[in-house]
Amino acid sequence: MNSTFNKLLTFKTMITALMIIVFSTQFLLIERVDALSDSKQLVLDAWTLVNEGFYDPEKFDEIQWKRIRQKTLQKQIETTEEAYSAIEDMLKPLEDPYTRILRPKDYELLKSSNFGSEINGVGLQLGEDDDKKVKVVSTIGGSPAEESGIVSGDFILKVNGISSEELGLANTASKLRGESGTKVLVEISSESGEIREVDLERRSVDLRPVRTKRLRDDSHTIGYLRITQFSESVPRRVEEALQELKEKEVEGLILDLRNNSGGLVSSGIAVADTLLSEMPIVETKNRNGIKDAIISQKETSFDGPMVTLVNKGTASASEILAGSLQDNGRSILMGEQTYGKGLIQSLKSLGEDSGIAITVASYLTPKGNDIQGQGMTPEKLLDLPDASEFGSSDDKWVRNAELFLESLLEEASIQTNEIVGEEITS
């Protein structure tokens, strides 16, 4: 009996030991599989950042997001460039052109445009339309693109013979950038379908994000303030510009946001804060729902009458600013329907000096209007040709805004005189 029991005990011990060996081996194998290469770790890091921040998590279930990660990591990814390509393929099912991998050159360029004062390239701000065609949002003033006659609404068909459909938005933008003095051949289609080729020479483009001057006539002095993009320094520069205009005793202000395709949302909100007094600026809708509205402080840098010029190149952060001014009755909008980019991106760093832009929220104007894909309609539409230089003496848009402001100032002057007259005769 004892002998049988001992044999059985020995057998169980052997089985247990064997199971321990087997499971230990399997565990070691699992550990070996899970020890990802640097290139695959880059892919996993990108997936994790998107998984944690993307504004529409319901999309993950629709496209089987976790399965996409699994299938992507099963691919042969041995180099950093293969990792970038794998991340691009992984992000495509999200169908969001603004959530994208930024290779080192593109990442550095985007950071410099947000924080610096000049960039190297042709001066195009690009987006996508509903059919995924690469579309010109705006051109930067004084850039090769503007000088060649490329305008907001044009489509980029090819860059150096490669179709933009094949390249996608991010790679099309990347192909247009390069060292000063180098050239790039771009095939353009107008909104009417006219196709032409443009040979552009890349160069350093001075962004000059804030420009200002004083407009005077026989009876009134009006300030003109143009913001070309929202970089980090813009709120401070705007405050300085408004202070300078106040010292020149301007009575009204023309805010020019034409062809301002956005930039740092925080900068756009900060500028709104300088023009609004205890009013809602914007509401953001992230993956957890609608947050409380951002409210401006009481103090303002300018509280006189305003007109804000917008066009189809006015997008993103500039639409936040324009929408806050319009909805609060602080300024009328004059010009064209705006572009309609109501999504906010967060910029995250990845290894090898690269980055990833992730759409983390959409925004609503103070009255709850969703701008994404819709844009904003000005109270006063203008059907006028663009000036060769915005803000110049031949700019009919500015002249229209100036005349409208003068009428407001005249009306206010008459009302003031009537009130004074009533007080005198009472």
37-80 pLDDT, tens digit per residue, is: 889 999 999 999 999 999 999 999 999 999 999 999 999 999 99
- Say which of 45, 56, 327, 395 is annotated catalytic: 327
Q: What is the pLDDT of residue 114?
A: 61
pLDDT band at 418 (very low <50, low <70, confident <90, very high): low
What's the CA gap between 264 and 112, in Å, rounded? 12
- Main-chain dihedrals φ then ψ at residue 29, nearest 5 degrees: -65, -45
- Say which of 158, 285, 312, 341 is annotated catalytic: 341
Annotation marks residue 312 as catalytic: no
Annotation marks residue 341 as catalytic: yes
Token look-up 């180099």 returns 79
Q: Residues 267-284: pLDDT tens digits?
A: 999 999 999 999 999 998
- Say which of 143, 267, 296, 316 is annotated catalytic: 316
Asked if 55 and 362 touch (Cβ cutoff 8 Å), the reply is yes
Q: What is the pTM of this model?
A: 0.76
Question: What is the 3-state secondary structure of 337-398?
Answer: CCCCCCEEEEEEECCCCCEEEEEEEEEECCCCCECCCCCCCCCEECCCCCCCCCCCCCCHHH
pLDDT band at 416 (very low <50, low <70, confident <90, very high): low
- Is the confidence at residue 306, as pLDDT, over 80? yes
What's the CA gap between 366 and 369, in Å, rounded? 7
Annotation marks residue 327 as catalytic: yes
3-state class of 118 per DSSP? strand
What's the CA gap between 394 and 274, in Å, rounded? 30
> What are the residue ranges of helices labelled H in 218-343?
234-247, 265-275, 317-327
Structure tokens at 300: 């303002």
> What are the residue ranges of helices labelled H in 182-316?
234-247, 265-275
The CA-CA-CA angle for residues 387, 392, 397, to 5°, reads: 50
What's the CA gap between 98 and 116, in Å, rounded? 21
CA neighbor of 54 nearest in space, from 93, 84, 11, 81: 93
- Is the confidence at residue 162, as pLDDT, over 60? yes
